[in-house]
Structures are given as C-alpha cells and as structure tokens.
Amino acid sequence: MKIGFIGLGNMGGPMAANLAAAGHEVTGFDLAAPVPDGVTKAASAAEAAADAEVVITMLPNGDILRSVAGEIVPAMKTGAVFLDCSTVDVASARAVAEDAKAAGLLALDAPVSGGIGGAQGGTLTFMVGGDKAAFDIAKPLFDIMGQKAVHCGPSGNGQAAKICNNMILGATMIVTCEAFALADKLGLDRQAMFDVVSTSSGYSWSMNAYCPAPGIGPKSPSDNDYKPGFAADLMLKDLRLAMQAAETADADTPIGEAAMKLYERFVEQEDGRGRDFSAMLPRFEKRGHGEG
C-alpha cells in the first residue's frame, strides 16, 4: 500500500518504520524529526499525501491537526483514507473528518494507547472513530502497528473513547498513590497491601499492572526512578481534553476535574514534569492530611 505519514516523532517514527518494514511504500514528512529507515523523505506534508492510498498523521494537538489537514486534504486523491492517530479534542477530530469527507475522502480518528514502547513493538491499541468502510481498509495497517483496533462508531468517537479511558486511569492512579501513602502511615507493609488489594475489590490496572510503589508487583516505571512510560505531562493533556469535552457535552465529571487539577499542580508547580504519571506516590509520601 502507498502510505503518506506526517509526524515522525517518538510515536510516529516507529509506527512508520514498522509499516515500511512490513513491505508498505511509506513516504514521510516531519518539520524536525528524522525520517526512519525504509521511509522516503518528502519535502512537504502535501507531497507526502499526494498519490497515497492512506495518509496517517501523528501530531501534538488539534490546532496543528487542523493546519496540516488544510494542507493535505486538497493534495489527497479521491477515495483515499485520512487516518489521524493524534490525541486531540473531539471537536477538532470531527471538524477535520467533515472537511475530508467534503473533499471525497474517507476519514478515521484513531488515537492510540501503549506509549513509545507500544509504538516500537507494534503493540498499540487503536480506538477508532469514522466510517466502517475506512476502518476495513485501514485494518491491515492497524494489525502491523498494533495488537488491537476497536471501531468505536462515527467520527470523534475514537477520541471520546481515549479520553474517557484516560480519565479513569488518571483518577485511579492518584487514589492508588494516596492509598500507598496512607498504608505507610498506618504501618501497613506495602507488599501486604498489594497482595490484598490486587486480589480484592480495589484492584485496578494502576495497582495490578503498573504499581506506583517500587519493588511491588510487575516491573513498572516506579522501578526505574519514575522515568516515563507515560509522562505526567501527557496525562495532564488527556485530562484537559476530557474536561473540555465534558464542558461541551454538559457532563458532570467532578473526580475527573479533581484529577486534572492535581496533575496540573504536579506538573506545573511541583516536580512532575518529565516524570512518569505514577510519580504521584513520592509526592503523597511527603504530604500530611489536608495539605494543599
């Protein structure tokens, strides 16, 4: 398949490399990041998009997505698939999909879960919104770049699924960290707490698969000085997107909002920037009841 790939950073670069390694003809463009092995370098986003059967974008935010879409939609051939894998606001995803459809293109929003390791290993999960026909065309590519792709409904629903998932993740990680800090102060051994909670009604992905306490449970970033598997900065971005969506949809999300405010403080006023989102645990260890 002829593929255009725009946005070759930490996520997009390995994804494009995996497609090229699987035998697809990939032409890539990025303003700064290097073009990976096996990918042909284009001089512009429009050049990467021209003649491609599928154009994939992996971009930082909705404004940049709208800008790039303005360049590539006119350059794409009728019937091609515009596959956006960025995590952006639902409104931008839907606006770009409408513009693509008006130009005779098929559109998918397909944000990912799995981080840089998942991009490199081809084990990402894709949450996909858009036409079923477009999903079927892109499915072989999802199978190369990831291990799972779920069609979530019409345009924008991929972004909706991602931010709902990550709102749960952000909140459960915070309360898991709070609980470990409380257990410490109650004299409860961390391993004993893990052994109870991980097999009781308090179990969660944050506790069982990604434990924020070093040396407890499966290996996680807490065992590597909280170097990011999923950075607190990115969790904050996703929680802000969730709150933006909640406001637009008139949804009541008080715990999601509290999680956003805690990550905001952690990243912008404390030492959270550039650390894993589970580094909330050392933060809570240092604090007393009612602080902040």
Neighbouring residues of 131: CB distance < 8 A, sequence distance ≥ 6: 106, 107, 108
Which residue in 154, 150, 178, 133 sits closest to 284, CA to CA?
A: 178
* Catalytic hit among 162, 185, 237, 261: 162
Which residue in 176, 131, 167 sits closest to 151, CA to CA?
A: 131
Return the bridge partners of 150, or none.
127
DSSP 129-152: EE-HHHHHHHHHHHHHHEEEEEEE
- Exposure b/e, 167-176, CB count within 10 A at least 16 = b: bbbbbbbbbb
Catalytic status, residue 162: yes
Q: Answer for the pair 97, 88: CB distance below 8 angstroms, yes or no.
A: no
Question: What is the crossing angle of helices 157-185 and 190-197, to 10°?
Answer: 140
Rounded to the nearest angstrom, the gap between the alpha carbon of residue 102 and the centroid of all alpha carbons in its chain is 27
Exposure on the CB side of residue 96, measured as CA atoms within 13 A: 34
Task: Report the first-to-last Cα separation within the chain, whole angstroms.
Answer: 54
Distance CA 96, CA 40 (A): 26
How far is residue 79 from each of residues 130, 138, 191, measured CA to CA in Å?
Answer: 14, 13, 56
- Exposure b/e, 12-25, CB count within 10 A at least 16 = b: bbbbbbbbbebebb
Q: Scanning the structure block, which residue is given the tokens 């606006």?
A: 95
**Active-site residue list:** 162
